[in-house]
Amino acid sequence: MKKILVTGGTGFIGSHTTVELQQKGYQVVIVDNLSNSSAEVLDNIAKITGVKPVFGKVDVADKQQLFDFLKQNPGIESVIHFAASKAVGESVQVPLKYYRNNINGLINILEAMKEFKISNLVFSSSCTVYGQPEKLPVTEQSPIQPALSPYGNTKQINEEIIRDFVKVNPDVHAIALRYFNPIGAHPSSLIGELPLGVPANLVPFITQTAAGIRQCLSVFGNDYDTPDGTPIRDYIDIIDLANAHIAAINRMEESKQKQNLEFFNIGTGNGLSVLQLIKAFEEATGVKLNYKIVGRREGDIEKVWADTSFANKELGWKAVVPLKETMLNAWNWQKSLMK
Ligand code: UD1
């Protein structure tokens, strides 16, 4: 059974990816510092898959902790590196936290790959590296734009660090997945997104408003150059996103890479406006959402969606979950939290 290290494995994307990996026969070893997630997630993963992953409460930004853990858990062939701080707004307020966690974390992972002979890395990158693209949809060749936040900057810097590292370590194989906007939850309602405090992201805010936890959703601006004036994003189901990681791991295991480091856009290829997403939620769930239009949120880009043809062709991966199902899963997850 192939052993995979999943850093940040109790988080939103990490937990869903762990489930898909286990269901496909991988043995998953998780490290997480639980700064933004809970160890209960491990029990819920076990309820879905029948297997509780091996877990270490480890901060990947602490090299000693990471190395000690890996010494006790030999035989890992691949790592999927999710562990990172991810709140765009917070990163502007406390930039050093972001540089420390996200940059040190990756450096330690790369050093661990060398030390413990781990061959394959999947890195969580983001469409944020493209900023506001001039041409849409964005391809992997679209120019990288100056980052709008320290968070975005850490994703760009990390891609560069991996690029430099693989040049002199040809035994290491890496794939950076540039996620668009991940949403939804596992259909079992046993795992999902657990934002701390007031959610910054759209879908958790929608579901909390529908549940009565928030009074009203603020739609940040309707004066953008889009058909209904609200910004456009490419919202990707969390299970589809999880499966992209498995496709990436398979590509490296089967030595199908054309270069040691490859980049893939992971989205649906369809752009949806904020109002379209609200409508999709209402139609899927039958719940009417209380929302109002307010001013723009600073730092928001107008529109972005993915050209996914490279991922479709080379990874043999495609987003398949219908939006209605995604919205229903997000809503069922929200309801399960209130029981
Ligand atoms: C941002 C980052 C992305 C990062 C993600 C993680 C950019 C360009 N994108 O995505 O890289 O991975 O955060 O947190 O930096 N909206 C509302 N009301 C709300 C919340 C959101 O109208 O209460 C709107 C926003 O204006 C935006 C859309 O919903 O148009 C999506 O917002 P959000 O879910 O926060 O994601 P991004 O900002 O696209």
Write out the two tokens for 328. 């229903």
Nearest CA to ligand 1 atom 29: 202
Residue-averaged pLDDT of the chain: 97
**Residue 126: CB within 6 Å of ligand 1?**
yes
**Residue 291: CB within 6 Å of ligand 1?**
no
Buried/exposed code over 141-167 (b: 16+ C-beta within 10 A; e: otherwise): ebeebebbbbbbbbbbbbbebbeebbe
Quick check: 35 pLDDT over 90?
yes
Write out the two tokens for 80. 């999927």
Q: Which of 150, 114, 144 is nearest to 132 (CA)?
A: 144
Distance CA 233, CA 151 (A): 18
Rg for the chain, CA atoms, rounded: 19
For residues 253 and 27, the answer to whether their CB atoms sit within 8 Å is no
Give the tens place of pLDDT for each residue, 222-262: 999 999 999 999 999 999 999 999 999 999 999 999 999 99
Coil/strand/helix, residue 287: coil
Write out the two tokens for 154. 């850490």
Write out the two tokens for 221. 């601006």
CA distances from 77 to 1, 21, 305, 323, 338 (A): 11, 14, 33, 34, 39
Whole-number Å distance, alpha carbon 202 to ligand 1 midpoint, is 6
Write out the two tokens for 292. 């109002």
- Quick one: 212 exposed, middle or buried, by C-beta within 10 A (0-12, 13-18, 19+)? exposed
pLDDT-above-90 percentage for the chain: 97
**Residue 184: CB within 6 Å of ligand 1?**
no
| Average pLDDT for 178-207 | 96
For residue 233, give the ligand 1 atom closest to its CA. Answer: 39
| Average pLDDT for 55-74 | 98
Which residues are designated catalytic? 151
Mutate to test the pocket of ligand 1, among 220, 265, 279 (most ligand atoms within 8 A of CB): 220
Nearest CA to ligand 1 atom 8: 128
**Residue 177: CB within 6 Å of ligand 1?**
no
Distance CA 310, CA 215 (A): 42
**Residue 85: CB within 6 Å of ligand 1?**
no
**Residue 156: CB within 6 Å of ligand 1?**
no
Check residue 1 and give its pLDDT: 85
Q: Which of 227, 181, 211, 172 is nearest to 289 (CA)?
A: 211
For residue 296, give the ligand 1 atom closest to its CA. Answer: 26
Nearest CA to ligand 1 atom 18: 219
Coil/strand/helix, residue 332: helix
Q: What pairs with residue 248 in β-bridges?
A: none
Give the tens place of pLDDT for each residue, 92-125: 999 999 999 999 999 999 999 999 999 999 999 9
For residues 239 and 188, the answer to whether their CB atoms sit within 8 Å is no
Quick check: 195 pLDDT over 90?
no
Whole-number Å distance, alpha carbon 301 to ligand 1 midpoint, is 9
Check residue 47 and give its pLDDT: 98
Would you call the peptide bond into 195 cis, given omega within 30 degrees of 0 as the criterion?
A: no
- Quick one: 339 exposed, middle or buried, by C-beta within 10 A (0-12, 13-18, 19+)? exposed
For residues 30 and 76, the answer to whether their CB atoms sit within 8 Å is no
Give the tens place of pLDDT for each residue, 272-320: 999 999 999 999 999 999 999 999 998 899 999 999 999 999 999 999 9
Write out the two tokens for 130. 């493209």
Residue 127 is classified by DSSP as G
For residue 230, give the ligand 1 atom closest to its CA. Answer: 30
Whole-structure pTM value: 0.97
Distance CA 262, CA 176 (A): 6
Residue 272 is classified by DSSP as E
Q: What are phi and psi of 70, to 5 degrees?
A: -70, -30
Coil/strand/helix, residue 217: strand
**Residue 42: CB within 6 Å of ligand 1?**
no
Residue 306 is classified by DSSP as B
How many secondary structure helices (H) and strands (E) does the chain include?
12, 13
Paired sense of beta strands 291-294 and 217-220, if any? parallel
pLDDT-above-70 percentage for the chain: 100
